[in-house]
Amino acid sequence: MAKVIKVKNNKVTDDVWVGQGITAGAEYIVDPTQYTAWSENTKVLTDAATGNLGVSDGSTYFTTASLRIDWLKGEPAIKLSASGNQIVEHAPPTGPTGQKAISLVTPNLSDRTTWYQKSVQVVGATLTDSGDGLTFTSANPWWVDINNAKLTYTYKQIPKRDGTMGKHADWAASISVNGVVQTTGFTIDYAAGTVTFSSSQSGNAVTATYWHNNGVTNPSEWLFVPAGGKVYTINCVELQYSMNIAPTMDTILFEIWAGASVATYGSFSNALFDAGYGQFRASYRSVWDIINVTNNQNSTVILAHGPMQNDLFIAPFNYTQAVRMDSAQGTLLRMCLQNNTPISSEITSACFYLTIS
């Protein structure tokens, strides 16, 4: 059966998408010759993501943003239940038997509150009333905001320095008033390390359990350490940054180490690197370095949409030969900022596409 894309204007006013006017509440079946235009149109994708534009396979409307966008883009092929939910079917792997693929995104090098790996935990610390009964301060700025929208990790897939994976709750902040955990009625300024309540807590004991990287040596350092008995193969890497990036920036260091363990590597000194444990190092001092060494014929600019304030530049590093990381050889990835100065940009991060065997 031929694919059908039916859309519906869920707004209260008439609107136009890809030159097609649709009145409020009305439906429209997209001409197959226009599928590509609709799948690449920023307004279409943005409104599909928010639900202002309903998307259907001709009989049932998709219930989530990801399903709507996937159907518009033509991948993957989606089957729906009568209630509009995706039917997940087993698909045989296309790679070697026993392998699976994952993608890992580093913390945002433009936001210190996402630098979680070297953070330390404070348990049950008493916060100080700033004097208005609303804002309470802690002894430390730079709390870890593990649920930051720009910190992308799958559930139970947050890499730790010991090769294991954590989950978001492992680094989540907890606020209590008179010993009772609060879930609403306050906001956290993670950079300042303060908590502000919507109603006065004057005279109450406000405590917090949180992770922070204040005073930590090399807080921007992020490691990806293969789990014991596993071999990870890096097939490609993407470095991405917002187009409002400053003309000057701290140097991004990307390294591969092997031959020992995290304990031996310690502070990852130049002496140990030169002694043979360092396998590879790249230093990106500016956008010129990034552009000069990436596969720019495949670079992409993603137009700002949704919560994005700026367009995003994606620079792919497509290796001619995959990089193999064997846990038995103590191989690991290391990425950090040379002086731990956040890059002035909405987001600066890297994504690694790997297979595991």
pLDDT in tens, 141-197: 999 999 999 988 877 789 999 999 999 999 999 999 999 999 999 999 999 999 999
The residues spanned by each domain of the chain are: 6-73, 100-109+220-356, 112-212
Using DSSP's 3-state secondary structure scheme, residue 182 falls into strand
* Mean of the per-residue pLDDT values of the chain: 88
Mean pLDDT lowest among 161-165, 316-320, 348-352: 316-320
Question: Which CATH number among 3.30.450, 3.40.1710, 2.40.30, 2.60.120 corresponds to the domain 100-109+220-356?
Answer: 2.60.120
Angle at which helices 65-73 and 42-50 cross, to 10°: 150
**Predicted TM-score of the model (pTM):** 0.72
Mean pLDDT lowest among 125-139, 153-167, 214-228: 153-167
Q: Is the pLDDT of residue 201 over 70?
A: yes
Pick left, alpha or beta for residue 303 (phi over 0 → left; psi -120 to 50 → alpha; otherwise beta).
beta
pLDDT in tens, 20-73: 999 999 999 999 888 888 988 989 989 998 999 999 988 889 888 888 888 888
- pLDDT at position 44 is 92
